[in-house]
Structure 1
Amino acid sequence: MALLLKNAFSGLVLVLVVLALFLDLRLAFWVTMGIPTAFLGSLIFLPAMDVSINMISMFAFIIALGIVVDDAIIAGENVYDHMNQGMPFAQAAIIGVKDIAVPLTFSILTNIVAFIPIWFLPGTMGMMFQVIPLVVITVFAISWIEALFILPAHLVHLKNDNPALILRFATALQALFNRGLNRLIVHFYKPVMRVLLEFRYLVVALGIAMLMTSISYIAGGHMGFTTMPKVEAEFSVGRATLPVGTSLEDATAIRHRLERSAQKVMDENGGKALVKGISSIQRNLDGEFIIIVRMFLQPSEVRTMSTKEVSRLWRDATGNIPGVEGIRFSSAGSGPGSDVAGVTIEMRHHDNNMLEKASNELAMMLAGYAGVIDIENTFSSGSSKLNLKLLPAGQSLGLNEKELAKQVRSAFNGVRSIRQQRGSEEVDIKVMLPDYQRASEFDLEQLPVRVGNDYVPLGQVASITRDYSASVIQRREGRRRVIVSADITPSSEAMTLSQTLSEETFPILKQSYPGLDIGFRGDQMEQKESMDSLFINGIMVMLALYCLLAIPFRSYSQPFIIMAIIPFGLIGSVLGHVALGYTMSVVSLLGVLALSGVVINDSLILVTEANERREKDGLGVHDALLEACHRRFRPIILTTLTTFGGLSPMILETSNQARFMIPMAISLGFGILFATFITLLLLPCMYSVLEDIKGVFTNTAYEVEVPLKS
């Protein structure tokens, strides 16, 4: 919790610094104050929605940190501009708010719509992250009230006469910064835009090619994909399963071997600086030994070796152990993103023999894939048992199965002979066979069985056969189920292997074993459910965003060019993950989906300005676009930098505690950066191409000379 509070405070400071570079210091202060106001206001309503202050809800506040300030920037800057034009402060506040009330409201609504799909995520991930849309949407709603009603009231009381020394210094610094920014716009950005508009079709084609390349890069599995971001584990675990019938001495020897190899890894790689300690457990479950050895590692922040690397070294140091049914070295963490088997497959069949053969064949197939290690098969013959069947000779002597079972049970489990007083307690004295007379089947055959007034050996009246009985049988839908799991190195290849298994391996097994039901469980099943949910909800979000944009623009076509920027946010997300060494995950896609409502705000600003310049000033399409780019460059850059600044402390966080949440921040932060770049360069070209197309169908095509020099 303290970690997230630190990141939230750092983000707030960065937002204030960015605002102070662009806005009057007093305006920057009141705009920034809108953030804690929205946060504190949301705390009034969150308890009613059963939302507590925890790591996830704090992360939601950090996500909202850089986004909510955009509304206050738009409202505050518009009111402040009217004040600087000499308008009475009260009148400036009223007119300034009226000017931006409608676009600001639709901007808030698009942000809200983009976060709603997170609420509908299924499974464990949905339960974990559903608090995010509740927090973010509540903060957005409070920020809308703050930007339209509270902020203007504060700005009314600002005074322009005799500013304090610090304000004069800040004003001088801002003037210097703004002169540099204006030179950038006039001498670089506008000339570049003139050239791009001249070659708009080539620019749009290059943009589409760049988008397709990025999508192909992801779809091709080059950067991998996981359900949850992997959190650096707290300890490494070696788990060995021994077959039924393994002696205690052999099991102990295997445990000692695992302990020695763990100690070797510890001694050769820093000793106590890497490993805090080693512990082991040896269990006998109905004749099946399970050995678990743990290496407790130092916190990830203070050691130089990852848990995955420790597990790999431990596996290499142990080598192959004969007589082991299954062995797995895992990087065991805790909480979201903890390491689990890279692939988990469930098999079901009504015939146990076919199920055993199918599970063994699948394990052999998995062993043939590169990078697949530590394969485990939960099918177990179980503990050994002896079945007794009464022979005709026994029946002729008057024995029945119930009487036979009673005598054998008494011989092995004992019968109470007397009850003896020892001090204040009574102790039962049982009579049973000594150990040496029940160590083998031969001893059992010689067991005297009473028949009337005589005794005969058990082997003469009953047959004895050895069999195995599973200690645990799991069933689903009436059929026995078996789990076959394996680790994959690198873990990012799990998605590729899952696809190969679905398309190649599973059909072969189903054909070889009729009636076999096989499918993914665990991570893979949850990943499929999450991806299906994101796909369906993503379509619904796009439809909702289109409707929200079509209303204020009163156009069927212009919402398309605004929404065309959304996929480019994915490119920024991919670049951010690659640059920081993260693997794309479902959490990353949640960030991309939430990004869709944020990136269109800048496009909304630019297209609205271009439309106004055409309607109010009568400018041509290209001239209107150039003027809109000039006027809106500053606010677009400002909103982008505040959003990225608010998220950057979380993006750069190195603590293990926050690692599973960072990919969403990366998607939002780097996505908005890249989408802004596209908005400023590609969107005007797309607008111009759209007008060309409209001109063809309406016979109003225009011809405008675009000078290459200002």
Structure 2
Amino acid sequence: AIVVGEEALTQFDAGRSPTEAATAGATRMFAPVIASSLTTLCAFSVLVAAAEDAPIREIAIIMLVVIAASLIECFLILPGHLRHAFERVQRRPPSRARQSFDAAFARLREHRFRPLVRLAMANRGTVVTAAFGVFVVMLLAWTTGWIKTQLNLNLDFEQVQANVRFVSGVTDSDKAAFLAHLEETLAATDEEHDGNNLVAHIVVANHATLDGESKGGPQFASVQAEMTSAEERELSADAFAAAWRERVRRSPSVDALDIARERSWFSDFSILIKGADVETLKRASDDALRELVTLDGVSNLRDDLPYGKDQWLLSLNTAGRSLGLSTGELGRQLRAAYDGRRIQIFQDGDNELEVRLLLPEEERTDLRRIEQFPIKAPGGEMLPLAAVADLSVRRGIDAIHHHDMERTLHLRGDVDIGRITGQEVVAYFDANIRDRLVERYGVTTGIDEISLAEQETLSDGMVQFLLALALIYVVLAWVFASWTWPLAIMSAIPLGLTGALLGHALMGLHINPMSLLGFFTLTGIVVNDSIIVLSAYKRLVSEGVPPGQAIEDAACSRLRPVLLTSVTTVAGLFPLMLEQAPIAAMFTPLAAAICFGLLYGTLLVLLVIPVMLSLIISGTERLAQAMGRAQPRAA
């Protein structure tokens, strides 16, 4: 709409009637606006077809609908409004303020911007090298980790939780004492940080969320605290959870403790270790956890091979074997006593009842009596269990997982995104721990869950971005009937991305899915600015203006619409970029990518695109001359 309105105003200032000016503005800008819309549609259609994240796909669909609606408004509704506006201007001369602004802008364009364009055209190599050199620097800052990537959105939810798994056999009084300690440290943490962080908290017995799973049973408990809104407190949920965690004293009655913000089922990273027996996997896990816990910003480290209840291990001794006992016979007698032996089944109406004979409950629940349990030898002798077997106790494993038919455990943990990312933890593991585990324990490693999803999201995003670039190139080649002009237009994309990456670095943001969406959006916007400049050049050349002068005039004539497009977009997104509310802050990287990309890229588009167009035209002419000279020699 800005482009059409600016062109219509130019025609009106040239002396055309209101109707002619409005019509000419829409007619002359129809091709470039359609081309700009098609390139933006190409960028978002790739996301609609390939994006797996529902929010990103929905945003892309909304953008496609908005673009279609804006085209209808731009060419069917806007010209009528422009005609009425021009008629009012005819009846009432422009105000003095408007005349002063127009004169000031004209001086800026002719006395400041035009000499800058000429300077750029006179130093084409320097301009291109500098512009794309900065892009390479920012790209390296991203790929080397100076600008971090965290494709888990990490929303600041409004709850923190302490999830507890107690050791087997812990008394109710010990459970109550530790839960009371959690409540005391929660209140002390709140008081230490202005006392306005919490709304309320509750203690939940027999339930906790650990290892990404909802757990139930008497050995589980949790403390859940609701926080005030982010604007009212000084700490984020992550920082508050960390401060709470530092105050908590570990208790011998606690097997696992996870204090963190309320989050999705997945942790911030997940590393696979597999391929060995359970004991070896557990030793490999403990080895890795001892080193990972030293990383700054890593917390709640755990694996999903947790110790469970105590297990009694029985092995026949020499006396038992001499009596002819077998391990199987020993197990059958113990099972009959503790699990019972069926001795009768009878019908009670429609119900079938089973009668089982087993030890009294007080003997089955008192493990101290197991050593005196009478065992019948094959010869009929009755001997205590301790006389025929050796007994030992060890902690059992609560659950054993498999991946590709191999025993597997997951190393999981949370990160403080301000200090380290999940991808950096995985990279540290691969560089410093993996080879040692493989050599020492004979295991294999990999990534899963959120770490695998992040890797796939980044690789899929790159493929989608390349596909979008290919579609944009095809559309531009078709619209301009040239294989080389699209290269000049698309050279604006690295300029916009340079600004987007620079904005993330300055604001301390990480690259996340919303950042990638911002990159796609920015690609369409900066390409649109380039199309406007190139369309003006094409029209000027068709009117007989020399190519060099046409390039300069095109850049200067399109200064106002390009600036208006960028300024209005930045003004609309600027409040969102500064928003601190938890849900709105999710879109901060999207707004930052577009705002900084436009602020940095707009002026460079008006300088670099003319330079690139000049280089392409010069190169095409030299190639044509070379081919013309070579043709007679070939004949």
What TM-score does the superposition give when structure 2 sets the normalisation length?
Answer: 0.83
Residue deviations 1:295-322 (CA, integer Å, cap 9, x gap) = 3322111112222322232222225555
Structure 1 segment 457-468 matched on structure 2, within 5 A: 459=385, 463=389, 465=391, 466=393
Q: Distance in 1 between matches of 2:73 and 2:306?
A: 64
Asked if 1:513 is matched to 2:513, the reply is no
Q: Distance in 2 between matches of 1:147 and 1:265?
A: 57
Residue deviations 1:126-180 (CA, integer Å, cap 9, x gap) = 223211221111221222223223333454555626878xx767x5443332222
- Of 424, 435, 442, the residue aligned with 1:496 is 424
For 2:525, the equivalent position in structure 1 comes to 598
For 1:97, the equivalent position in structure 2 comes to 26
Q: Distance in 2 between matches of 1:375 and 1:409?
A: 38
Cα shift at 1:75: 2.9
Asked if 1:550 is matched to 2:480, the reply is no
Q: Distance in 2 between matches of 1:193 and 1:355?
A: 66
Amino acid at match of 1:626: E
- Of 532, 551, 555, the residue aligned with 1:625 is 551
For 1:261, the equivalent position in structure 2 comes to 185
For 1:274, the equivalent position in structure 2 comes to 197
Task: Go from structure 1 to structure 2 and tell me whether the alpha carbon gap of 1:230 and 1:587 turns closer, same or farther (over 3 Å shift).
Answer: same
Amino acid at match of 1:372: V
Structure 1 segment 244-259 matched on structure 2, within 5 A: 244-259=168-183
Amino acid at match of 1:445: E
Structure 1 segment 60-79 matched on structure 2, within 5 A: 72-79=1-8
Task: Go from structure 1 to structure 2 and tell me whether the alpha carbon gap of 1:528 and 1:288 turns closer, same or farther (over 3 Å shift).
Answer: farther
Q: Distance in 1 between matches of 2:493 and 2:447?
A: 32
Cα shift at 1:213: 1.7
- Is residue 383–residue 470 contact of structure 1 (8 Å, CA) maintained in 2? yes
Residue deviations 1:444-486 (CA, integer Å, cap 9, x gap) = 233467999x994662897474465433333333233312122
- Is residue 588–residue 667 contact of structure 1 (8 Å, CA) maintained in 2? yes
Cα shift at 1:590: 1.9
Cα shift at 1:363: 1.2
Amino acid at match of 2:335: A
Matched position secondary structure for 1:373? strand
Asked if 1:300 is matched to 2:230, the reply is yes
Asked if 1:383 is matched to 2:309, the reply is yes
Amino acid at match of 1:498: V
Cα shift at 1:368: 4.0
- Is residue 89–residue 156 contact of structure 1 (8 Å, CA) maintained in 2? yes
In the alignment of these two chains, the number of paired residues is 603
Cα shift at 1:405: 2.7
Q: Distance in 1 between matches of 2:10 and 2:311?
A: 89
For structure 1, the residue ranges without an aligned partner over 5 or more in a row are 1-71, 420-427, 701-710
- Of 534, 537, 544, the residue aligned with 1:607 is 534
- Of 92, 101, 113, the residue aligned with 2:42 is 113
Task: Go from structure 1 to structure 2 and tell me whether the alpha carbon gap of 1:361 and 1:258 turns closer, same or farther (over 3 Å shift).
Answer: same
Task: Go from structure 1 to structure 2 and tell me whether the alpha carbon gap of 1:248 and 1:457 turns closer, same or farther (over 3 Å shift).
Answer: farther
Amino acid at match of 1:629: A
Amino acid at match of 1:315: R
Asked if 1:354 is matched to 2:277, the reply is no
- Is residue 342–residue 486 contact of structure 1 (8 Å, CA) maintained in 2? yes
- Of 102, 111, 115, the residue aligned with 1:191 is 115
- Is residue 110–residue 598 contact of structure 1 (8 Å, CA) maintained in 2? no
- Is residue 381–residue 468 contact of structure 1 (8 Å, CA) maintained in 2? yes
Matched position secondary structure for 2:132? helix
Cα shift at 1:638: 1.3
Task: Go from structure 1 to structure 2 and tell me whether the alpha carbon gap of 1:415 and 1:322 turns closer, same or farther (over 3 Å shift).
Answer: farther
- Of 567, 578, 590, the residue aligned with 1:641 is 567
Task: Go from structure 1 to structure 2 and tell me whether the alpha carbon gap of 1:73 and 1:434 turns closer, same or farther (over 3 Å shift).
Answer: closer
Q: Distance in 1 between matches of 2:622 and 2:559?
A: 30
Q: Distance in 1 between matches of 2:344 and 2:498?
A: 77
Task: Go from structure 1 to structure 2 and tell me whether the alpha carbon gap of 1:405 and 1:73 turns closer, same or farther (over 3 Å shift).
Answer: same
For 2:464, the equivalent position in structure 1 comes to 537
For 1:440, the equivalent position in structure 2 comes to 367
Residue deviations 1:221-268 (CA, integer Å, cap 9, x gap) = 223221134322312223344444545454444333333322221232
For structure 2, the residue ranges without an aligned partner over 5 or more in a row are 208-214, 349-354, 627-635
| CA RMSD in angstroms, aligned pairs only | 3.8
Task: Go from structure 1 to structure 2 and tell me whether the alpha carbon gap of 1:456 and 1:394 turns closer, same or farther (over 3 Å shift).
Answer: farther
Task: Go from structure 1 to structure 2 and tell me whether the alpha carbon gap of 1:404 and 1:533 turns closer, same or farther (over 3 Å shift).
Answer: closer
Q: Distance in 2 between matches of 1:83 and 1:573?
A: 37
Cα shift at 1:528: 0.7
For 1:26, the equivalent position in structure 2 comes to none
- Is residue 305–residue 399 contact of structure 2 (8 Å, CA) maintained in 1? no
For 2:293, the equivalent position in structure 1 comes to 367
Amino acid at match of 1:592: F
Cα shift at 1:614: 3.3
Task: Go from structure 1 to structure 2 and tell me whether the alpha carbon gap of 1:570 and 1:350 turns closer, same or farther (over 3 Å shift).
Answer: same
Name whichever of 73-82 and 625-634 sits farther off: 73-82
- Is residue 270–residue 410 contact of structure 2 (8 Å, CA) maintained in 1? yes
Amino acid at match of 2:154: K
- Is residue 474–residue 481 contact of structure 1 (8 Å, CA) maintained in 2? yes
Q: Distance in 1 between matches of 2:109 and 2:81?
A: 32
Structure 1 segment 420-459 matched on structure 2, within 5 A: 433=360, 435=362, 438-441=365-368, 443-447=369-373, 456=382, 459=385
Asked if 1:315 is matched to 2:315, the reply is no
Q: Distance in 2 between matches of 1:696 and 1:347?
A: 60
Q: Distance in 2 between matches of 1:670 and 1:82?
A: 33
- Is residue 587–residue 663 contact of structure 1 (8 Å, CA) maintained in 2? yes
For 1:584, the equivalent position in structure 2 comes to 511
Amino acid at match of 1:277: A
Q: Distance in 1 between matches of 2:15 and 2:76?
A: 22
For 1:406, the equivalent position in structure 2 comes to 336
Amino acid at match of 1:624: A
Q: Distance in 2 between matches of 1:229 and 1:408?
A: 51
For 1:151, the equivalent position in structure 2 comes to 78
Asked if 1:180 is matched to 2:104, the reply is yes
Cα shift at 1:218: 1.9
Q: Distance in 2 between matches of 1:320 and 1:694?
A: 74
Q: Distance in 2 between matches of 1:635 and 1:685?
A: 20
Amino acid at match of 1:352: V
For 2:151, the equivalent position in structure 1 comes to 227
Cα shift at 1:595: 1.4
Task: Go from structure 1 to structure 2 and tell me whether the alpha carbon gap of 1:542 and 1:530 turns closer, same or farther (over 3 Å shift).
Answer: same
Q: Distance in 1 between matches of 2:384 and 2:98?
A: 103
Q: Distance in 1 between matches of 2:51 and 2:89?
A: 59
Amino acid at match of 2:575: P
- Is residue 394–residue 460 contact of structure 1 (8 Å, CA) maintained in 2? no
Cα shift at 1:202: 1.7
Asked if 1:208 is matched to 2:115, the reply is no
- Is residue 331–residue 339 contact of structure 1 (8 Å, CA) maintained in 2? no
Q: Distance in 1 between matches of 2:559 and 2:268?
A: 47
Matched position secondary structure for 1:539? helix
Cα shift at 1:78: 3.5
Q: Distance in 2 between matches of 1:653 and 1:542?
A: 31
Identity %: 22
Task: Go from structure 1 to structure 2 and tell me whether the alpha carbon gap of 1:133 and 1:202 turns closer, same or farther (over 3 Å shift).
Answer: same
For 1:68, the equivalent position in structure 2 comes to none
Residue deviations 1:43-101 (CA, integer Å, cap 9, x gap) = xxxxxxxxxxxxxxxxxxxxxxxxxxxxx223344345445555565555554433222
Structure 1 segment 151-170 matched on structure 2, within 5 A: 151-156=78-83, 160=87
Amino acid at match of 1:102: A
